[in-house]
Structure 1
């Protein structure tokens, strides 16, 4: 099946996306380059060339301390300045079909070589065939770089940008980070038709007495020299601890996290709808928590790749994604997620009484979604339009229920609501309101 209908992007979008290669995929040590992602959201909102250029100026720090019609005074930290494409600091073997799997998680050194490799493979095979061959193995490590590599690739695939796609595949290879699924771990099961439904699974997971201690253990480990030397950022270092077979976090994942999906040969739409509603509800209930938002934008990315995979690889990809979402929720201290369970149960009840047909948006609703996305494009934080863009895409797919569309709309309203500084032009008001246990450790928010 296909996932989504594609918006009518402008004829010049791909020219902007090609410019993304003027900068490295990361900057500031481990931060991920989002410039192309927001160009996609802006274009979908009908942005003109001047608006696209405005975003480049903002994101590359050229517009610092200037005033434009679209925003108030811009003041962006120099730490956010993008970096030029990097050359390998040491000689590195060429990436080929014979060794590409052996060089995964290569601490980013091999990124340019992987990009060159995937450029050639996309030209040789075509993007769809390239994804079918290489994505299944890479999907195991999609938690790498706080899911940004997954996002970069999936957003590229959605709009058929081969320039971005080769970068995304290379980024997934070099940021590769599995979560207790390798051969050194206890036997795991990514998905099963007999597992609890995702909402019930989350209820069981969040109600587990071990959760708070797991978060504390992950935090303590991430501050040790072994993890600090990785230079991946506080969040990613906490997440990496879940792949340590000597620690209880990996055992917890393999005991508790199996995604319920229909057997091979059965349609995935209902399962996808439930996962989309979980991420939208979690975003709103967590008060737009930063890393929960990445769960939403990465699900959009995974769904964009699924049509290019066989049925087993589709299910595995969703299983790896759900595992990453659960680990994210745990290490972030369950921010507001327990509150979302109530709304999810209400959604289930409302959806259950509806007819099993897709909800068709009215012309007024379509206009509201477009206007809401347009209102987000003045934000200096690209996560604002990116989140609204994904929610809009899900609403416009029109195979989900009206109950789901209500959840998407509520989440979008919450994202674009005026923050404490008075407007969407300011950075998204990401919540730092963690669970009771972690409120005293706000330095974890990095």
Structure 2
């Protein structure tokens, strides 16, 4: 099935235009999924009426964007990372910066530092930025980058001793991670990630992974396998965030530090998931999976299925369809 072009979808572009009126978060630090899910629905082939109906229903939970605030003159762009209240000034900064230099140059400048805090808001700054780059909608990209900067949450890993970073298999390193008592307290993924990241021994154990050009694919496949087996909401975000990293990496001349930063966040999120194997669900054809995702009223099904289909196109294999089949099972 050919992928529709966002540049020729007036319904999607109108939704992204209108999205500038919404805050990046709502409720208790929940991320606004409207632009991400709208693009995913579009790419899955949702008709205009479905796009409009889904967006209208979802928008009822959102909050209006706060009043515009100017970026403080003279401040370095990274001066306010991790401050949720800084979203309006980051919005101003990225709106101006993108207008002056364009998406490629801005992303090249900020991605290395932003990736260090990609765990923030359950990876949604990262995921929204990847969707925004694919939509080629400048204001949406500014808002996405502003969200990422405002929720930036680093996961620190100790520098490995010489020879320690020798294990190429992420699954082997994950099995060695010291874990806090389970289940970990905290209603939000980001809070549980912070608990794991601060746990004694976590940083040293995570530093054992040798990151190379194959690491991201291993992480992506691992997330898909784990989600297919468990249906874990936390692991769903590892699956979709691995897709987002793959989308953004071509901007960087040296992608491995970004993959290293992503691995740190990935490891902490995996440890925080407390996922349990539920058994496989029946493998479904893509047509039925996509139909279920388009019909779903939640804010994650379309993104999950879109990521699975795009990752299968990039990497091959059937694990992506097994993971995506959970959407059909959830609606059964």
Matched, 1:83 2:63: yes
Aligned to 1:205: 174
Match of 2:322 among 397, 400, 410: 410
Q: Single out whichever of 294-303 and 271-280 deviates more from structure 2.
A: 271-280
CA distance in 1, matches of 2:184, 2:56: 38
1:28 matched to 2:8 = no
How many Å apart are 1:277 and its aligned residue?
1.2
- Shift of the 97–176 alpha-carbon distance from structure 1 to 2, 3 Å rule, reads farther
Q: Distance in 2 between matches of 1:60 and 1:15?
A: 14
Q: Is the 8 A contact 1:239 1:328 kept in 2?
A: yes
In 2 relative to 1, CA 171–416 (structure 1 residues): closer, same or farther, beyond 3 Å? same
Contact 2:288–2:328 (8 Å) recurs in 1: no
Cα pair distance change 1:126/1:82, threshold 3 Å: same
Q: What are the Cα deviations for residues 337-373 of structure 1, in whole angstroms up to 9, with x where unaligned?
A: 9x99xxxxxxxxxxxxxxxxxxxxxxxxxxx535521
Deviation at 1:320, TM superposition (A): 1.6
Structure 1: distance between partners of 2:312 and 2:183: 39
After superposition, the Cα gap between the structure-2 partners of 1:95 and 1:377, relative to the gap in structure 1 and judged at 3 Å, is farther
**Matches of 2:208 and 2:190 in 1, distance apart?**
22
1:387 shift after superposition: 0.7
Question: Residues 261 and 109 (structure 1 numbering): CA distance in 2 closer, same or farther, change over 3 Å?
Answer: same
**Bigger mean CA offset, 158-167 vs 92-101:** 92-101
Whole-Å Cα distance in 2 between the matches of residues 243 and 193 of structure 1?
19
1:301 aligned counterpart, secondary structure: helix
Alpha-carbon contact 1:86-1:112 (below 8 Å) kept: yes
The residue number in structure 2 matching 1:443 is: none
Q: 1:104 maps to which residue?
A: 81
How big is the shift at 1:257? Answer: 3.8
Tell me which residue corresponds to 1:165. 141
Rounded Cα–Cα distance in structure 2 between residues aligned with 1:123 and 1:170: 15
**Aligned residue for 1:8?**
5
Written as runs of structure 1 = structure 2, the 5 A alignment for 1:296-335 is: 296-311=239-254, 314-335=255-276
Cα deviation, residue 307, structure 1: 0.9
> 1:204 Cα shift?
4.2
Output the CA distance in 1 between the equivalents of 2:166 and 2:90.
37
5+ long unaligned stretches in structure 1? 62-80, 223-232, 263-267, 341-367, 425-446
* Deviations 1:299-344, CA, capped at 9 Å, x for gaps: 1111111111121xx112212222212111212224339x99xxxx
- C-alpha change, 1:371 and 1:162, in structure 2 (3 Å) is farther
Q: CA deviation at 1:121?
A: 0.8
Name the SS for the 1:150 alignment partner.
helix
| Local SS of the residue matching 1:109 | helix
1:255-312 deviation per Cα after TM superposition (whole angstroms, max 9, x unaligned): 33444333xxxxx3x44432221111111111x111110111111111111111121x
Report what 2:223 is aligned to: 279
Corresponding residue for 1:118? Answer: 94
- Displacement of 1:60 in angstroms is 2.2
Residues in 2 aligned to 1:293 and 1:377: alpha-carbon distance in whole angstroms = 17
The two structures have a TM-score, normalised by structure 2, of 0.87
TM-score, length of structure 1 as denominator length: 0.66
User: Match of 1:389?
Assistant: 306
| Rounded Cα–Cα distance in structure 2 between residues aligned with 1:140 and 1:97 | 23
Q: Deviations over 1:209-240 (max 9, x none)?
A: x32xx244953xx6xxxxxxxxxx54322222
Q: 2:113 aligns with which of 120, 137, 144?
A: 137
- The equivalent position to 1:196 in structure 2, one of 152, 158, 167, is 167
Contact 2:164–2:208, Cα closer than 8 Å, also in 1: no
Q: Which has the higher helix share?
A: 2
| Rounded Cα–Cα distance in structure 1 between residues aligned with 2:202 and 2:306 | 34
Are positions 1:151 and 2:127 aligned together? yes
Aligned residue in 1 for 2:71? 94
Instruction: Write the deviation string for residues 20-68 of structure 1: whole angstroms up to 9, x where unpaired.
Output: 112111000301100111111211122222111111122123xxxxxxx
CA RMSD of aligned residues (A): 2.8
In structure 1, how many angstroms separate the alpha carbons of the residues matched to 2:184 and 2:217? 31
Q: What corresponds to 1:77 in structure 2?
A: none
> Quick check: 1:180–1:254 contact (8 Å CA) kept in 2?
no
1:240 aligned to 2:239? no
Q: Quick one: structure 1 residues 188 and 97, their matched pair in 2 at CA, closer, same or farther if it must change by over 3 Å?
A: farther
Q: Secondary structure at the match of 2:222?
A: helix
Which residue does the alignment assign to 2:51? 52
